[in-house]
Amino acid sequence: MKTKKQEQNSREWAESEFKGADFGDKRLDRRLVKLASALSQAPEAPINQASADDAAMKAAYRFFSNPRVTPSKILSPHIELTKLRARGSNRVLVAHDTSYLNFSTHLTTSRLTELGHNEGFVA
């Protein structure tokens, strides 16, 4: 169970990190902050477990299925803040996952392909 202080810290972090979000609809902008706050409190949990209740879970799924919501629009404010933070440092450590999975030789599987090859988010 999260304490009130942890919830407040998550909310403040989400408000700061995603305040520049612009989906062309202020309700979506606010929903991103709310979702980021909830998901940051349980980053290992799927949406249905990280959500406070069924209404919050349904709101999260509606948010992600909205055509105005794209990965780049979600990440844009976070990326800009990360750039600003990096500019203020002499040294920046960047952790990078170079995992590469290829299941194409598994004879008992079908329709699986490579994961991580020539894919990724480009800011």
Q: Domain locations in the chain?
A: 4-71
**pLDDT of the residue at 123:** 41
**pLDDT of the residue at 33:** 95
**pLDDT of the residue at 100:** 73
Tens of pLDDT along the chain (123 residues) come to 678 898 899 999 999 999 889 999 999 999 999 999 999 998 899 999 999 999 999 999 999 999 999 999 999 999 999 999 999 889 888 888 777 777 777 777 776 665 555 544 444
Report how far apart, in Å, the C-alpha atoms of 87 and of each of 32, 34, 48, 60, 93 are.
Answer: 26, 28, 37, 33, 12
**pLDDT of the residue at 121:** 44
Distance CA 58, CA 117 (A): 33
**pLDDT of the residue at 75:** 94
**99 touches 116 (CB < 8 A):** yes
Q: Rounded to two decimals, what is the model's pTM?
A: 0.72
The CATH number fitting domain 4-71, selected from 2.40.70.10, 3.40.50.300, 1.10.490.130, 1.10.246.40: 1.10.246.40
